[in-house]
Amino acid sequence: MRPYELTAAAASDLIARKELSCEELTRSCLERISDRDPVVRAWTHVDPEQAIRHARELDRQPPRSPLHGIPFGIKDVIDTADLPTTHNSPIYIGHRVGRDAACVAVVRHSGGVILGKTDTVEFACAGRRALTRNPHNLAHTPGGSSSGSAAAVADLMCPLAFGTQTGGSLIRPASYTGIYAFKPTAGLVSREGAKMYSQTLDTIGSYGRSIADLRLVAGVFRLPQADEATGFDPDRLRIGVCRTPYWDRAEAAGRDALEFATRQLERAGVEIRSVELADDFGKLARAHEIIMHGEGRAAFLPEYLGHYERLHQDFRDHVENAKMITPRMMADAYDLAARCRAEFDRLFATGVDAILTLATPGVAPEGYHFTGDIIFTAFWTLLHVPALCVPAGPGENGLPIGIQLIGPRFGDLALLDVGEAVAPLLDVSPARHPVSG
C-alpha cells in the first residue's frame, strides 16, 4: 500500500510508531496530486516545496497531536497565511492574506501539513463553479461548493480536507464522491477567516475516508461531550429513520440508499424506528433560503461596492435583494428555526441514538454546472445539529452515494460513536474506489 492510500487514522498510527515519516506521506500525496490532478482538477494551489519543508520540520519534532504530519486540503474560501486565497473569484486572483483562518491555525498548531487550496464554487455560494470533476466519473460533478476538497480526499490526493456548509456544501460532495464528512454543531468550530456568506448557517466541516479520520479532527478541535452522553449500548443501538418532509424530492438512488442502510442495520440487530417530523419542519427549507439570501445581502456588499464589474450577477442579486426578502420574513424564519431546534433535540429523549436520513436526492448529476440539490442538507444546517455522511450501498452507474446520520445539538461525539458502529454495515459499495485509484 502506498502512503497516499492510507486513511488519516492509519497514517497517524504509522507516524506515531515511526514507521512512516511525515515527509514520505507528504511526498506520496504530492505525487498522487501530480498524477491525478490534471484530470480531477481538485486543487487551485499547491506549494510542494513548502509542504515538504514543513513535513521535514515535523519529522524533527515530537508529535503535537494525532494529526502530526497528516496532509490537509483547504477549501479556497478559507484563509491560509502562506498560500493564496481566491474564493474562485476574479476579484481575489492571487490574493494572499497574512493570517491563517482559525480552523487552519488549529490544524497547523496540531502538526497538520497544509498541502494546498482546493477549488470551490465562487465564495462557496453561487457564480463560478469549481473546475473539479467527480473522480468516479469525470463527466459528473463532485457536488459543490466544497468540490475540490471532496474530490481530493475521494481520489486519495490527501487524507483530510476542510469544507464549509451553508446549505449542502459539505455533506453533498461527500455523498457524491463516496467519502465521509462531518459537520459539527454550529458554533463549536470557529469560522473566523472563512469567507462569510450567512452568519446563521456557515459551518466548517471536514472530509476523511473513515470515521476514525473525522475523530482525529474532532479531537484537535476539542468538541465537548454532551451532558447526557452516557454512551449508547452498541448491541442495542436505536436508530430513527427519517424520510424528512421533502421525500418527494428523492430520486430512486436516494430512496434505495436509505432503504439499503435501514435493511443493513435491521439485519445487524439495530432497533429501527420510523421518525416523522412535525409540520413546522416542512417549512424549514424555505426558512433556510430566506435566511441564507437575507444574510447574504450584507456578506457581499464590500465586493458590490468595490468590485462591481468583476462581481458575478449572482452576488449582485444578493445585495440587491432580488429574492425580495423582507425583514418580517427574516424574523419569522429565525423564530421558526429556533422552535424546531428545541423540538428536534427533544426527539432524542424518546429513545433514539441518531437519525438516519438521506444525504442527497440521488447520485452526482452529470455535468459541472449544477452541483446538486441541497434539499436534504439545508434544513439540517439551519437546525445547527451535527451531521455525518457515510457511504452507503451500491450507488448507481458506478457513482457512489452516502446517507446522513444526524444527532441533537452538541451530540457530536456520540454521533461519531454511532457512525463508527454502523459504517462497516453501510460502507460496502464497489464504487468506493475512483476510476484509476
Residues belonging to the chain: 437
Which residue among the candidates 28, 146, 169, 206 is catalytic per the annotation? 169
Helical (H) or strand (E) element with 58: helix 48-59
Is residue 290 close enough to count as binding its own copies by CB under 8 A? no
Pick one of 243, 341, 432, 433: the residue that binds its own copies (CB under 8 A).
341
Which residue among the candidates 28, 110, 145, 206 is catalytic per the annotation? 145
Which residue among the candidates 75, 117, 183, 195 is catalytic per the annotation? 75
Stretch of 106-114, 145-153, 260-268, 348-356 lying at the interface with its own copies (CB under 8 A): 106-114
Longest Cα–Cα distance of the chain, Å, equals 60
Stretch of 70-78, 135-143, 282-290, 323-331 lying at the interface with its own copies (CB under 8 A): 323-331
Distances, alpha carbon 233 to alpha carbons 347, 414, 424, in Å: 18, 11, 17
Is residue 334 close enough to count as binding its own copies by CB under 8 A? yes
Expressed in angstroms, the distance from the first to the final Cα of the chain is 12
Helix axes 8-16, 211-220, angle to 10 degrees: 70
As given in the structure block, the three cell numbers for residue 196 are: 462569510
Neighbours of 271 (CB within 10 A): 14
Pick one of 105, 131, 272, 347: the residue that binds its own copies (CB under 8 A).
105
> What is the x/- site pattern for its own copies, positions 343-382, by CB under 8 A?
--x-------------------------------------
Is residue 387 close enough to count as binding its own copies by CB under 8 A? no
Is residue 231 close enough to count as binding its own copies by CB under 8 A? no
Which residues have a Cβ under 8 Å from the Cβ of 62 and sit 6 or more positions away?
none
Taking the CA atoms of residue 346, residue 352, residue 354 and residue 355 in that order, the dihedral angle to the nearest 10 degrees is -80
Nearer Cβ to its own copies, position 202 or 396? 202
- Separation CA 127–CA 145 (nearest Å): 11
Is residue 102 close enough to count as binding its own copies by CB under 8 A? yes
As given in the structure block, the three cell numbers for residue 216 are: 482525529
For its own copies, the binding residues (CB under 8 A) are 95-100, 102, 105-106, 108-110, 186-192, 195-196, 199-200, 221-222, 224-228, 294-295, 297-299, 301-302, 305-306, 319, 321, 326-328, 330-331, 334-335, 338-339, 341-342, 345, 409-410
Provide the annotated active-site residues. Answer: 75, 145, 169
